[in-house]
Structure formats: C-alpha cells, structure tokens
Structure 1
Amino acid sequence: MSTEKEKSERFKRVAEGRTNKIIDQIRLLGNCANKSNYEYSEEDIRKIFSAIENELRLTKAKYQSKQKNKKFEL
C-alpha cells in the first residue's frame, strides 16, 4: 500500500507535469491570435474561451466537492 507521503509525492509529480503541459498548450493557442496568419471572428474566440473556462470550472469543482454522497435533507 502507498503511504500518504508517497501519494503526495506522486500527486505533485503528476500534477506538475500535467499543469506544465496545459500551460504550454495555452501558449500555443495564443499563437493563433496572429491575424497575419489566421482569420477568426469574435464568436470563434468566445466559443474557444467558453469551452476552456467551462472545463476549468468542472475540474476545479472536483477538488472542492468532498460531499459527493451527501444524504438528501429538507
């Protein structure tokens, strides 16, 4: 079985790598803002960032929601 320290170290290693990959991909997406190479509408940009923001909200909620099996109460 994994100890708490091992789990923490594994989380840090995995989360750090994945976070850096996401940051790199966001920077690459930023390269698409160059109007001399690409053509896009404000609606295109709205859809892109709406999708990103929505996914970020959903992922953040996974870390904040610790009461998944809470019983119903009136």
Structure 2
Amino acid sequence: MSQKREKFRQLAESRTTKALEAIARIGNLSNRQVYEYEEAEVRKIIRALREAVVEVEARFETPRVRKSGFKL
C-alpha cells in the first residue's frame, strides 16, 4: 500500500473516531435530568452538524481545483 494511502487510512480512522466520540458527547446533552434546553437550540445544533457533513461530502465529491495564476 502506498504511503499516501496508508497515511489517509490512519488519519481517517483517527479523525472519524474522534468526531464520532464528540457527537456522542453532544448527545449526552439530551439528558433533561441534568440539562435544560429549548427545542430551537437542539435544532440549531442538529442543523450545524448536518451542514458540516454536507460540506465534507461535497469536498470528497468535487476535487479541489488549484488556481494556477491568471490566464486569458
């Protein structure tokens, strides 16, 4: 396996695990015995998470185009 592929796999696994753990911690906020919140706040959190996922998907679907200076 190439070094780039191996590095991708290592970082992808590590970062995805951390992201999933962070999402689980956000889910812990749902405990109404410990926290008080409004539904509008929950919707805002969920919207932010969904938008972040959409952004990540878009970055994988559309490769970045590097601008190589000005041309006519």
Range into which the TM-score falls when normalised by the shorter chain: 0.7 to 0.9
1:52 aligned to 49, 52, 58, which one? 49
Which of 57, 61, 65 matches 2:62? 65
| TM-score, with structure 1 as normaliser | 0.82
Task: Report what 1:36 is aligned to.
Answer: 33
Q: Percent identity?
A: 32
Give unpaired runs (5+ residues) of structure 2.
67-72
Rounded Cα–Cα distance in structure 2 between residues aligned with 1:40 and 1:21 = 25
Change (3 A) 1:37 1:67: closer
Shift of 1:67: 7.0
- 5+ unaligned residues in a row in structure 1: which ranges? 70-74
The 4+ residue runs of structure 1 with deviation greater than 6 A are none
Residue 50 of structure 1 aligns to a residue in which SS?
A: helix
Instruction: Give the TM-score, by structure 2 length.
Output: 0.84
